[in-house]
């Protein structure tokens, strides 16, 4: 934020809402600017005398402050916690700047909720379940795979140049609370030992270093393109739920979120990739790579498959998975992380390799 982004009259209106109509905004000026952001001096004339405050912003792109939601979370945390530490200054409020230029308070919130449209349709888990009793994919199955593949190919065409955002996606895929390490932390004791968890995490960190030069791959993503978030309204169209964890990343994030399920469902049914699930995996990849031209996809999917594999192997999410099949999923994770390039034709080798 810069001083000129907030109109002084709008700021004064906001401050009157906090402190009363009798106050006057005497001064609003920049104090200084650093790596983290900028501070602004606010001087108020009140009935009790002069009151001095500081308005702080955070710089975007870097240090996990890339999106407005990131910066809001930092300030909301500060509002709740500054007052709890002895000798710490108090946070007065958290303000937001609207599209229209108004300044409004969000600092009084105790909890936060999202109000959204209702989705109608049947989620793609239903289709995955039905594949278990088929000898091969039917035309409806193929059509849906083409639709999802073409959709992803289209949204992934929207590119952005930012090594910071690409590196963040790599970092978050491994270390975010909703991603690999965070999901591991929800595992019941005894699922796998901590040493094996650490082994997988370390392999993913090595992949992060390997993929850092690939920042030109940064593109628009959904961020959680798994079957529960894909609802088919009919055979001609679908609607999506719960876009998550940032609008930018690697196409591999969306691809693996969906395709891990062909592998997972097939392992649960057959103990290996087989039948319509094998057909679906190869059909999806063939269609996507042909339409997107992403010839490098197989070289980057490994850490994303590791994250998604850890999700489907989690007994909290999928308690009915047998120990043997859960072990097969971990075999897949290790093998993919150890291979230079992923190959759909080698999935059964990955499953049995360890």
160 φψ region: left (φ > 0), alpha (ψ -120 to 50), beta (else): beta
> E-assigned strands of the chain?
24-33, 38-46, 49-56, 95-97, 103-105, 122-123, 219-220, 230-234, 237-240, 248-249
CA distance 102 to 303: 43
Q: What is the per-residue burial (b if ≥16 Cβ within 10 Å, else e) of 69-104?
A: eebeebbbebbeeeeeeeeeeebbbbbebeeeeebe
Contacts of 43 by beta carbon, 8 Å cutoff, 6+ apart:
25, 26, 27, 28, 50, 51, 52
Domain covering 3-105, topology: Phosphorylase Kinase; domain 1 (3.30.200)
pLDDT digits (tens, 9 = 90+) for 237-290: 999 998 888 899 999 999 999 999 999 999 999 999 999 999 999 999 999 999
pLDDT digits (tens, 9 = 90+) for 216-244: 999 999 999 999 999 998 878 999 998 88
CA distance 35 to 264: 45
Mean pLDDT of 48-61: 89
CA distance 286 to 280: 10
Among 316, 312, 221, residue whose Cα is nearest residue 262: 312
CATH superfamily of domain region 122-352: Aminoglycoside phosphotransferase (APH), C-terminal lobe (3.90.1200.10)
CB 167 within 8 A of CB 210: no
Residue spans per domain, the chain: 3-105, 122-352
Mean pLDDT of 53-82: 88
Q: Tokens in use for 167?
A: 């590196």
Provide the pLDDT confidence category of residue 59 given band limits of 50, 70 and 90.
confident
pLDDT digits (tens, 9 = 90+) for 296-325: 999 999 999 999 999 999 999 999 999 999
CA distance 257 to 252: 8
Can you give the pLDDT at residue 3? 45
Look over the chain and give the mean of its residue pLDDT values, rounded to a whole number: 93
CB 144 within 8 A of CB 232: yes
Strand 122-123, strand 103-105: pairing: unpaired
Sign of CA dihedral 263, 268, 273, 277: negative
pLDDT digits (tens, 9 = 90+) for 84-104: 878 888 889 999 999 999 999
DSSP state, 88?
P
Provide the pLDDT confidence category of residue 195 given band limits of 50, 70 and 90.
very high
Provide the pLDDT confidence category of residue 35 given band limits of 50, 70 and 90.
low
CB 254 within 8 A of CB 227: no
CA distance 25 to 15: 8
């Amino acid at each position: 934020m810069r001083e000129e982004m907030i109109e002084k009259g709008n700021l004064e209106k906001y401050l009157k809402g906090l402190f009363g109509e009798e106050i006057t905004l005497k001064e609003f000026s920049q104090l200084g600017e650093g790596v983290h952001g900028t501070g602004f001096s606010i001087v108020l004339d009140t009935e009790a005398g002069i009151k001095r405050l500081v308005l702080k912003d955070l710089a975007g792109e870097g240090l996990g402050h890339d999106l407005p939601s990131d910066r809001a979370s930092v300030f909301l945390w500060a509002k709740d916690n500054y007052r709890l530490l002895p000798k710490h200054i108090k946070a007065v409020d958290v303000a937001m700047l609207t599209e229209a230029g108004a300044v409004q308070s969000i600092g009084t919130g105790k909890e936060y909720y999202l109000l959204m449209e209702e989705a109608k349709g049947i989620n793609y888990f239903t289709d995955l379940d039905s594949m278990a009793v088929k000898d091969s994919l039917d035309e409806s199955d193929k059509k849906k795979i083409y639709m999802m593949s073409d959709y992803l190919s289209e949204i992934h065409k929207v590119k952005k140049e930012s090594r910071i955002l690409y590196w963040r996606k790599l970092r978050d895929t491994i270390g975010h609370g909703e991603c690999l390490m965070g999901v591991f932390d929800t595992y019941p004791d005894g699922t796998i030992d901590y040493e094996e968890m650490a082994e997988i995490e370390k392999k993913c960190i090595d992949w992060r270093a390997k993929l850092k030069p690939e920042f030109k791959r940064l593109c628009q993503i959904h961020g959680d393109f798994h079957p529960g978030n894909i609802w088919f309204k009919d055979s001609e169209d679908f609607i999506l739920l719960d876009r998550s964890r940032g609008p930018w990343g690697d196409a591999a994030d969306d691809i693996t979120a969906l395709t891990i399920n062909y592998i997972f469902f097939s392992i649960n049914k057959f103990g290996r990739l087989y039948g319509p699930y094998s057909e679906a995996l190869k059909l999806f990849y063939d269609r996507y790579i042909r339409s997107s031209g992403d010839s490098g996809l197989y070289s980057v999917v490994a850490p994303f498959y590791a994250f998604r594999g850890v999700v489907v192997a989690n007994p909290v999410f999928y308690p009915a998975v047998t120990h043997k099949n859960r072990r097969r999923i971990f075999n897949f994770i290790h093998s993919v992380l150890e291979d230079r390039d992923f190959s759909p034709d080698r999935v059964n080798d990955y499953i049995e390799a360890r």
